Amino acid sequence: MIELRDIARAFIVGGRPVHALRGVTLSVRAGEHVAIMGPSGSGKSTLLHLLGCLDRPTAGSYRLEGRETADLGEGELSSIRRHKIGFVFQSFHLVPRLTAAGNVELPMVFAGLPRAERAERIERALGAVGLQPRAGHRPDQLSGGERQRVAIARAMVMEPPILLADEPTGNLDSRAGLEIVELLEAMNASGLTLLVVTHDGGIGGRAPRCVRLADGVVVADERR
Ligand SMILES: Nc1ncnc2c1ncn2[C@@H]1O[C@H](COP(=O)(O)OP(=O)(O)O)[C@@H](O)[C@H]1O
Ligand SMILES: [Mg+2]
């Protein structure tokens, strides 16, 4: 489903290149659950952004469902972001003035879904994360764990086959973090392809496969 070959990403900072990724080769099959670990600055977020088509590599090949993403135009990439890939961030990235339901509705507004279908999907997505009773709450009226569940509902409302999560428990206490991990694992058990960046060894250790990055390269790829 995901095939990276010799992926490099350099950023130019002050006229000099910063090599965030230096030749990453990695394949992920549909339905896998992969933890991505590594020290701060090792390229984990850069890798996730490339996988999510939020960024393009400087070199190398990224095939998604058999299609070379370098050959795709902006319209096709935005369709992939809308329908194929959900993204969850450490700091939730919810819109503060919108309710939980309003946040979950946003991707469907961008996708042009009719109002009745949006309402139905909001109910289903918030139900799937156990938050239907909080549909009318704004982010500042929710706990951290609840905010992340809203973010997961928003990421999943278009029913993408892949979910990418960048330190999804990084701003949560251990109990709320565990609930988020269990929720993601349950979604993976029903077929979702799941890639989770974490530097929490306890969380990484739960995944059947762990890819370790250091200094922009894969230094270990372990299956349990
Ligand atoms: N937009 C950017 N511009 C310049 N340098 C960046 C940018 N994004 C990441 N980097 C650099 O790339 C390296 C890897 O960053 P990142 O992928 O965020 O690491 P991690 O998520 O593992 O902490 C770091 O040296 C970082 O400073
Ligand atoms: Mg990061």
pLDDT tens column, 143-178: 999 999 999 999 999 999 999 999 999 999 999 999
Which residues on neighbouring strands pair with residue 18, listed in sequence order?
Answer: 11
Q: How far is the CA of 157 from the centre of ligand 2 (A)?
A: 24
Q: Is 166 in the pocket of ligand 1 (CB under 6 A)?
A: no
Instruction: Give the tens place of pLDDT for each residue, 64-88.
Output: 999 999 999 999 999 999 999 999 9
pTM of the model: 0.95
Domain annotation for the chain: domains and CATH numbers: 1-66+73-84+160-224 (3.40.50.300), 96-157 (no CATH)
Does position 59 have pLDDT exceeding 90, yes or no? yes
Q: List the residue whose alpha carbon is closest to atom 4 of ligand 1.
A: 11
Q: How far is the CA of 45 from the centre of ligand 2 (A)?
A: 4
Q: Is 116 in the pocket of ligand 1 (CB under 6 A)?
A: no
Residue 191 CB neighbour total at 10 angstroms: 9
Which residues on neighbouring strands pair with residue 22, listed in sequence order?
Answer: 8
3-state secondary structure 71-129: HCCHHHHHHHHHHCEEEEECCCCCCCCCCHHHHHHHHHHHCCCCHHHHHHHHHHHHHHC
Segment holding 50, helix H or strand E: helix 44-51
Sole residue written with tokens 């251990």: 174
Segment holding 214, helix H or strand E: strand 209-214
Q: List the residue whose alpha carbon is closest to atom 25 of ligand 1.
A: 41
Q: Is 102 in the pocket of ligand 1 (CB under 6 A)?
A: no
Q: Among all ligands shown, which has an atom nearest to the Cα of 170?
A: 2
Residue 127 CB neighbour total at 10 angstroms: 13
Contact predicate 38/213, CB 8 Å: yes
Is residue 23 left, alpha or beta, with left meaning phi > 0 and alpha meaning psi from -120 to 50? Answer: left
- What is the rounded average pLDDT of the residues 30-57? 96
Q: Among all ligands shown, which has an atom nearest to the Cα of 20?
A: 1
